Structure 1
């Protein structure tokens, strides 16, 4: 099987570079497209009603900051990036939705090998819902 479109899930930390480089190394020989996605926290889901904040404005500012960082990652990559996506909410459901909409056939994500990731792993949730291949890149902490 030859991959045609690879989606890289990034968290906008320096570890994102490792994931993008891995995806590009797979995409180049195949001539596959590469897209980047970052899923922010949905602040409306966290709101308890005790703080007077403008949730829409906060969410918009977070999305704008994330998009700016994604664009910086694209500029630092020596391979064309087809799409950059910024979403908010549950990582696995947002990425699985994008997989269907964009005809993705491989998702690249990282997995931190630390104590907390053994208990709370968004990668495990992604593996359980995605209909395509998933490449999990170990990130040692």
Structure 2
């Protein structure tokens, strides 16, 4: 198997992101690969429906600011340059696939809680990433092991 050259690690900015990020960092180091970290913010109108009669602009900006701050903190822990820290808006699966294709990623690393039953039927972000990816995907087990 040829080594990976560009790894995209998708993080949700929880404490579990540290586990996923550490695994991606190790793989990148072993392969001398570029590592890019992404966090996808779902627009509030998508997450909560567009029928909310409120101006969500200020709240969306606060969420964005917090995401940039948190991704920067995570990146500092592993010495990841600012150009390899990405925060985007949209559906996580779609945006991660788009970014992976646009930047020539050959491995996507995501966290997975390994849900079963109803949660599996309803789907999850990691499942959506796996099924639409045009490159390898590594799901790192997080949460209750």
TM-score interval for Structure 1 and Structure 2 normalised by the shorter chain = 0.7 to 0.9
Query: 2:74, 2:5 → 1: CA distance?
Result: 21
Of 135, 138, 145 in structure 2, the residue corresponding to residue 135 of structure 1 is 138
Equivalences for residues 1-141 of structure 1 within 5 A: 1-45=2-46, 46-52=48-54, 54-77=55-78, 79-81=79-81, 83-114=84-115, 117-118=119-120, 119-141=122-144
Q: Structure 1: where are the runs of 5+ without partners?
A: none
TM-score (norm 1): 0.88
Contact 2:113 2:142 (8 Å CA) reproduced: yes
Q: Quote the RMSD (CA, aligned, Å).
A: 1.8
Offset at residue 117 of structure 1 (A): 4.2
Describe the SS at the equivalent of 2:84. strand
Contact 1:42 1:89 (8 Å CA) reproduced: yes
Structure showing the higher strand proportion among its residues: 1
Do the aligned partners of residues 50 and 137 (structure 1) sit closer, same or farther apart at CA in structure 2, a change above 3 Å counting? Answer: closer
Query: 2:52, 2:43 → 1: CA distance?
Result: 17
Query: 2:38, 2:119 → 1: CA distance?
Result: 20
Query: 1:55, 1:73 → 2: CA distance?
Result: 27
Offset at residue 98 of structure 1 (A): 0.2
Report the count of equivalent residues.
139
Q: Structure 2: where are the runs of 5+ without partners?
A: none
Contact 2:109 2:139 (8 Å CA) reproduced: yes
Offset at residue 29 of structure 1 (A): 2.4
Query: 1:47, 1:57 → 2: CA distance?
Result: 17
- Worse overlay, 25-34 or 3-12: 25-34
TM-score (norm 2): 0.85
